């Protein structure tokens, strides 16, 4: 019988560290698929991909993450710094 590994939070506390509470969420999760709609600044796309989706994947909550971005035509109508894919 395999023993369950203590949580990361418990291991941090046992090592003498004070864990920083944070909150990670995504727009939609269903059937192990996460969907993030991003119409904000382009820097948030990297955060979505490398923090949010990766965190949910490593935590075995999702198998795939989808990032929805505007196309170039819509980006032209928006303020500067908006990511687009085309």
33-43 pLDDT, tens per residue? 999 888 777 77
On whether the CB atoms of residues 51 and 23 are closer than 8 A, the answer is no
Residue 18 belongs to a domain: no
Residue 15 belongs to a domain: no
The domain in which residue 80 lies consists of 23-86
Residue 12 belongs to a domain: no
Total residues found in the chain within this entry: 86
Residue 2 belongs to a domain: no
User: How does strand 28-30 pair with strand 33-37?
Assistant: antiparallel
8-60 pLDDT, tens per residue? 778 888 888 876 666 778 888 999 999 988 877 777 888 888 888 888 899 89
User: How far apart (Å, rounded) are the C-alpha atoms in residues 21 and 30?
Assistant: 25
Residue 47 belongs to a domain: yes
Number of domains the chain is built from? 1
User: How far apart (Å, rounded) are the C-alpha atoms in residues 64 and 30?
Assistant: 11
């Amino acid at each position: 019988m395999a023993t369950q590994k203590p949580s990361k939070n418990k291991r941090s506390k046992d090592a003498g560290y004070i864990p920083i509470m944070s909150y990670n969420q995504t727009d939609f999760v269903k059937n192990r698929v996460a969907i993030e709609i991003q119409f904000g600044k382009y820097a948030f796309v990297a955060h979505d991909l490398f923090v949010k989706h990766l965190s949910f994947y490593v935590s075995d909550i999702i198998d795939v993450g989808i990032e929805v971005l505007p196309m170039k035509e819509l980006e032209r109508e928006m303020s500067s710094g908006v990511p687009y894919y085309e």
